[in-house]
Amino acid sequence: MNRATIQGLALAIISLQATQALVAQEVAPQPTSEAANTAAPATVTRVTSSAVAPQAQQRQRKRRTTRGRRTQPMRVAPVYPYTSPTSLPALSSDISGMLHGRIRSGEWGVVIVSLSRGDTLYSHNADLSLSPASTMKLFTTALALERLGADHQFSTDVLRDGPLDSAGTVNGNLIMRGDGDPSLSNRFIGGDVNAPMQLLARFVAGQGVKRVTGDLIADATAFDNRLIPEGWLSRYITAAYAARVSALSLNENLVWIAVHPGVDGGSPTVTLEPATTTIPIVNAVRSVNGSRTGNIAVRKLANGVLEVRGHIGTKAPPRRVSLIVDNPPLFTAGALRAALMSQGIIIDGEVRVGSTPVGAVRVTSIVSPPLERLLSVMNRESINIYAELIYRSAARGRNREGVGSAERAFVQLREVLDSARIPGSIVTATDGSGLSSLNRITPRALVHLLAYSNLAPWASTFHGTLPVAGESELLRNRMRLTPAQGNLHAKTGTTNSVASLGGYVTARDGEVLAFAFVYNGADRWNAKMTMDQMGATLAAFVRE
């Protein structure tokens, strides 16, 4: 098939898709809405229709099907006409034309190299310092695999600092010690949002514990105390993609406030999902007899109390509002206490934040899946809290030495960059997710990282963490019906002013290419479309 024919087919496909096309937006780093004023003494969140339940965190893994319901067509991002160049000059000409064809503002940085032949196929602003958005997670992935290994597992431990007598009483405190595990949610542990803490509570009960005379201590000292990374803009702070960072975290540090209609004429009920004893609630919701609607507002007071107001009809479905947890260690330990109570285990004291005393004895633990699975979730769904926890954990290494922080992680990252022959001065990483406005990379540095990762002992794991064009997660609706589908695999990046894509694609003759596309500017729509056009062109490229 000649080049003109391919272009004609591509144009026909685009015209067919254009009426329903929507560019697939990146879920995690999407700061497109202004956050509430964080300087105010309270924040208000409203919901007027049934919010998505916490189980929707598993939406990437489960799909509902209903017999007899008409199947909705898949929304596909249109692709500008790609080409099938057969020489390096033709490829360079085509890529240059794409870069300058539609984007009228902003800055591009592009580097394309052949990993098979070791030459550079195309370069434009290769050494320009640019904001990477979530392609920064590629650096976090390489660091984590280098420092921790693909089989590394996190362990959240429960310990006691006093003896356990024959009656099942711990004469002392119970300690919940965090290890930076991002997986404590029903994303990996089957059941509802309470499943992780219910499982851990059953483990504690299985060790014969029935009562604790002291406190339940939340130990998050594996990381420093900085909950919000440097460079996160104030407008991000109330958004779910900017959850607080702590070594002791639960449910990606989000909590749902669930409002249920009253039963038999009773008052509406308000619960937390997951359940926790450390977030007080004031229920001021009214019941409206016979109504199927509701209007709920959640006000976060300065003292940490959640005031829930509004109304809900007696025939209405439950309403849910999600909020970022301000104090993850206290929230997580409070959730464990609630789960222990459901197992009949009594804590005489309070829940407080502290550290594990020397000589404390481990009672039980809950262990995460292997790191490679967590990295796949992090990259394929672009979850920022995963990246931040893994970044700091990598600073501690497999032996869990010292305190994890973004600063220590960057020091370790520079060692990886040295191994990849990337000057440390051209990369700035103040966080691990790419949400920080202070992060900087060059396209050349990103491609060098990709080349290094392709030859590393953990190369197959690195490749496997990336979404695939036209098939999975954040690339599912991009580059469909092109040679890139099922072929190109790359990490996406999106903020208000950044669009980026970095990864790998196999050309038509089997040549393996690595590429970095980074755009900083306001025209993200056309930039993403241009990236898809270039990705499809690379997949169709052949040297004749």
- pLDDT tens digits for 357-412? 999 999 999 999 999 999 999 999 999 999 999 999 999 999 999 999 999 999 99
Give dist(CA 429, CA 448) in Å, integer: 16
Determine the topology of domain 155-367 in CATH. Answer: D-tyrosyl-trna(Tyr) Deacylase; Chain: A; (3.50.80)
* pLDDT confidence band for 497 (50 / 70 / 90): very high
Across 77-81, average pLDDT: 71
pLDDT in tens, 132-160: 999 999 999 999 999 999 999 999 999 99
Across 169-183, average pLDDT: 98
Select from 231, 111, 140, 93 the least CA-distant residue to 500: 111
* pLDDT confidence band for 78 (50 / 70 / 90): low
Q: Is it the case that residue 19 has pLDDT exceeding 90?
A: no
Provide the pLDDT for residue 323: 94
Provide the pLDDT for residue 7: 45
Dihedrals φ, ψ of 178, to 5°?
Answer: -85, 150
Provide the pLDDT for residue 110: 98
* pLDDT confidence band for 74 (50 / 70 / 90): low
**Cβ atoms within 10 Å, residue 151:** 10
Q: What is the average pLDDT value for the chain, to the nearest integer?
A: 88
Across 494-510, average pLDDT: 96
Give dist(CA 204, CA 218) in Å, integer: 16
pLDDT in tens, 56-70: 444 444 433 333 444
Domains of the chain, residue spans = 84-149+371-540, 155-367
Across 238-249, average pLDDT: 96
Instruction: Kindly state the helix (H) or strand (E) to which residue 464 belongs, with its residue range.
Output: helix 459-464
Q: What angle do CA 138, 142, 143 make, to 5 degrees?
A: 115
Determine the topology of domain 84-149+371-540 in CATH. Answer: Beta-lactamase (3.40.710)
Q: Is it the case that residue 51 has pLDDT exceeding 50?
A: no
**Cβ atoms within 10 Å, residue 359:** 7
Give me the residue label for tokens 């504690």.
204
Read off the pTM. 0.87
**Cβ atoms within 10 Å, residue 241:** 20
DSSP per-residue string spanning 374-441? HHHHHHHHT-HHHHHHHHHHHHHTTTT-S-B-HHHHHHHHHHHHHHTT--GGG-B-SSSSS--TT-BB
